[in-house]
Structure 1
Amino acid sequence: MRIQSAIALAATLVVALSACGSDSGDSTNAPIRPPRKVAALGPFVGECGHVTDDEVRATAGVPQISQVRRNSVGCNWQSAGLGSPSVTFASYRGSPIARERAWVTTQGRSPETIEVAGRQGFQALEPTGTVCDLAVQLDDDFFEWSMQTGRTTGRVSPCDLMRKLAELTVQRLK
């Protein structure tokens, strides 16, 4: 009985393995997939967009703002207190800027196309004028500066302030 079971099992394995390994040369049944796109790395934007804490304080016009988060893809500066100003920098490798533009649109902001030092991007100001997202395309990458003015509203648009930081980042690309 064991021999018959072993022979039947071996025959089943031979048939199964020969079906998996057969190459009849007919590739019409094979799924056709486009080759994967490999994103070319854009220029290095550095930690925090190559911008110092003092430059963020001076540009944002918020002398009491401090860095509260710093990692390989972004930085965040905040002022103390509920509803106080904040500034954020983020870098996105191999990510489509169009996705970020679409997300900003879903947040009630209307992106407008801009150019920063010869680079295309967008800025989107919240209708109340208290939040701005400004993104700049770098080959297959992009970076974004964002500001929330909090309860304090100045005479200058947060997009104008974020543009100054974006210009510094582009000037210092490596």
Structure 2
Amino acid sequence: MRATVVLGVALAALLVGCGSGDDASSARQSTSVDPGASGPFFGQCGSVNDEEVVRAFNVPAFTMITRNSVGCEWEVAGFTGPSVSFSWYRGSPIDRERSGSELIGRPADDIEIDGHPGFSAATKNYLCEVGVQFGKDFVHWSVTYGDQVPTADVCGVAEQLAELTVERAQ
């Protein structure tokens, strides 16, 4: 008798935990998020090659180049040396990036590249970032000369690289 009661309690707990197929389906639907329209494919490093970054940035060469699943970064030696970075954000709101820039003292201006809205935010001609939106995705270029005197217009470099990425989107 005791074994029957334990078996009955275990079976009841199992049935309550599983629920009906309709309830589980409804719960899944109510918690899932519609990702919306994804943007195009941008290729590694925004489809911009190392030589194009060197030319736009107006430096002789980069000492370190990093490529990973998040983006790319080109750096000149030194912790506070010049660098350029590219990031591609899928399903992430561009307004969060823009707001973050404004919160740390880089007022953002509206821009448009080839019909795509975005922003540009700069600090003292030493750092500029450009974000361009594609549906629920956006790409982001950041250019900084660190503690060195800029050899090119910082926002001009970021916008030029963003234009190449937008132009080459697939």
TM-score, normalization: structure 1?
0.82
Conservation of the 8 A alpha-carbon contact between 2:58 and 2:151: no
Post-superposition CA distance 1:54-74 (Å, at most 9, x none): 110110111222442012331
1:2-21 alignment, distance < 5 Å: 4-17=1-14, 19=16
- Larger relative helix fraction: 2
Counterpart of 1:124?
Answer: 121
SS of match in other structure, 1:33: helix
Tell me the distance in 1 between the aligned counterparts of 2:134 and 2:114: 11
1:80 lines up with 2:80 in the alignment: no
Tell me the distance in 2 between the aligned counterparts of 1:120 and 1:159: 16
SS of match in other structure, 2:65: strand
Tell me the distance in 2 between the aligned counterparts of 1:14 and 1:34: 28
Percent identity over the alignment is: 37
Conservation of the 8 A alpha-carbon contact between 1:123 and 1:135: yes
Query: Gaps spanning 5+ residues in structure 2: where?
Result: none
The residue identity in structure 2 corresponding to 1:49 is G
Counterpart of 1:98?
Answer: 95
Q: CA deviation at 1:40?
A: 3.2
Aligned length: 166
Q: CA deviation at 1:77?
A: 0.7
Conservation of the 8 A alpha-carbon contact between 1:53 and 1:66: no
TM-score, normalization: structure 2?
0.83
Cα RMSD over matched residues?
2.6
Q: CA deviation at 1:20?
A: 5.3
Counterpart of 2:141?
Answer: 145
Distance 1:118 1:7, change over 3 A: same
Counterpart of 2:158?
Answer: 162
Larger radius of gyration: 1
Query: Gaps spanning 5+ residues in structure 1: where?
Result: none
Post-superposition CA distance 1:98-149 (Å, at most 9, x none): 12112222322111111112110111102x2211111100121111110111
